[in-house]
């Protein structure tokens, strides 16, 4: 692995694509090196095997233009945030050395997500401490950690205009054939006849994703947007670079 500009970290395979896939595709298109880390392998998922989910994740990452993809083993459905998980993520952060980290939300319906948020925040800080895991690489602390939106919404700190990369995000999501509703087939996601219906496998969920992007996009004068939360105010040096688009 070599260093990246931006590292997106999600609890489960498909979290990153759902939360910030359009933003990652945009960054990759702008020439930034993008990496993705899935903190679990989706082993507790109701649909699809672990091997299938790994292949899906690889296809999705390639679609978004990600240069790096890694999996950790924090426990899907029983997410762990102990010293071993911190150590593993610290090693990844030091190896990939991102300036920006995009991670899970602090408050969410799925309990794995806030736990993953806490792990990401802790690992990004500790990765900069020389005394912590001295054997796992040169210390590095990302300049910023932002949260992408998952189930629960929140007032965003900023919204990225993803109108031009929305199709790429959808293509990445379609790579998760066992998980998500496949619009083109006019049927619910694969996984075989009788596969259990989960929230994300329904057509309603698919439409919610687009509806949310249209809502938050509308707030910045864009057709489609991805919202993010920042713990600290954004450091703006050019007010003209953050103007809304669209009709005034
Ligand atoms: Zn998730």
Residue 66 token pair? 């990600």
Name the helix (H) or strand (E) containing 146.
Answer: strand 144-148
Res 168 pLDDT > 70: yes
Residue 19 located in a structural domain = yes
Distance 58 CA to ligand 1 centre (A): 17
Query: Residue 188 falls within a domain, yes or no?
Result: yes
Residue 130 Cα to ligand 1 middle (Å): 31
Does a structural domain hold residue 125? yes
Mean pLDDT computed over 88-105: 98
**Pick from 1-5, 7-11, 120-124: least confident:** 1-5
Instruction: Give me the number of domains the chain comprises.
Output: 1
- Torsion sign (Cα): 11, 113, 89, 156: positive
d(CA 206, CA 248): 30
Domain annotation covers residue 88: yes
Cβ atoms of 127 and 96 within 8 Å: the answer is no
Within 13 A of 4's CA, how many CA atoms are on the CB side?
28
Would residue 238 count as lying in a domain?
no
pLDDT of residue 106: 97
Q: Is residue 248 part of a domain?
A: no
For residue 112, the CA-to-ligand 1 centroid distance in Å is 7
The predicted structure's pLDDT at residue 211: 97
**pLDDT digits 0-9 by tens, 68-85:** 999 999 999 999 999 999
Residue 122's beta-bridge partner residues?
Answer: none
Q: What is the CATH number of the domain that holds 148?
A: 3.40.50.10320
pLDDT at residue number 199: 63
Instruction: Indicate the pTM of the whole model.
Output: 0.92
CB under 5 Å of ion ligand 1: residues? 11-12, 15
Q: What is the pLDDT of residue 196?
A: 65
Q: Which residues are bridge partners to 182 per DSSP?
A: 187
* HEC letters along 116-145: HHHHHHHHHHHCCCCCCCHHHCCCCCCCEE
**Confidence check: pLDDT of 192 > 80:** no
Task: Specify if 54 maps to a domain.
Answer: yes
Which domain, by its residues, includes 37? 6-231
Answer whether residue 186 is part of any domain. Answer: yes
Q: Strands, E, within 29-97: which ranges?
A: 34-38, 68-71
């Amino acid at each position: 692995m070599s260093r990246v500009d931006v590292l997106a970290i999600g609890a489960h395979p498909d979290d990153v694509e759902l939360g910030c896939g359009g933003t990652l595709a945009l960054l990759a298109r702008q020439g930034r090196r993008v990496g993705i880390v899935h903190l679990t392998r989706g082993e507790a998922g109701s649909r699809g095997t672990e091997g299938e989910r790994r292949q899906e994740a690889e296809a999705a990452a390639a679609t978004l233009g990600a240069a790096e993809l890694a999996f950790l083993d924090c426990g899907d459905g029983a997410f762990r945030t102990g010293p071993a998980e911190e150590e593993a993520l610290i090693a990844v952060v030091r190896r990939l050395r991102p300036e920006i980290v995009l991670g899970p939300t602090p408050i969410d319906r799925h309990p794995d997500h806030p736990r993953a948020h806490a792990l990401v925040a802790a690992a990004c800080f500790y990765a900069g401490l020389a005394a912590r895991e001295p054997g796992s690489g040169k210390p590095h602390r990302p300049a910023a950690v932002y949260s992408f939106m998952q189930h629960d919404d929140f007032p965003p700190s900023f919204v990225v205009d993803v109108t031009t990369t929305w199709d790429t995000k959808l293509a990445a999501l379609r790579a998760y054939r066992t998980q998500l509703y496949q619009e083109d087939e006019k049927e619910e996601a694969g996984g075989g006849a009788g596969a259990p219906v989960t929230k994300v496998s329904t057509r309603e969920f698919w439409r919610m994703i687009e509806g949310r992007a249209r809502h938050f996009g509308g707030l910045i004068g864009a057709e489609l947007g991805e919202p993010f939360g920042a713990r600290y105010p954004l450091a703006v040096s050019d007010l003209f670079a953050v103007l809304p688009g669209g009709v005034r």
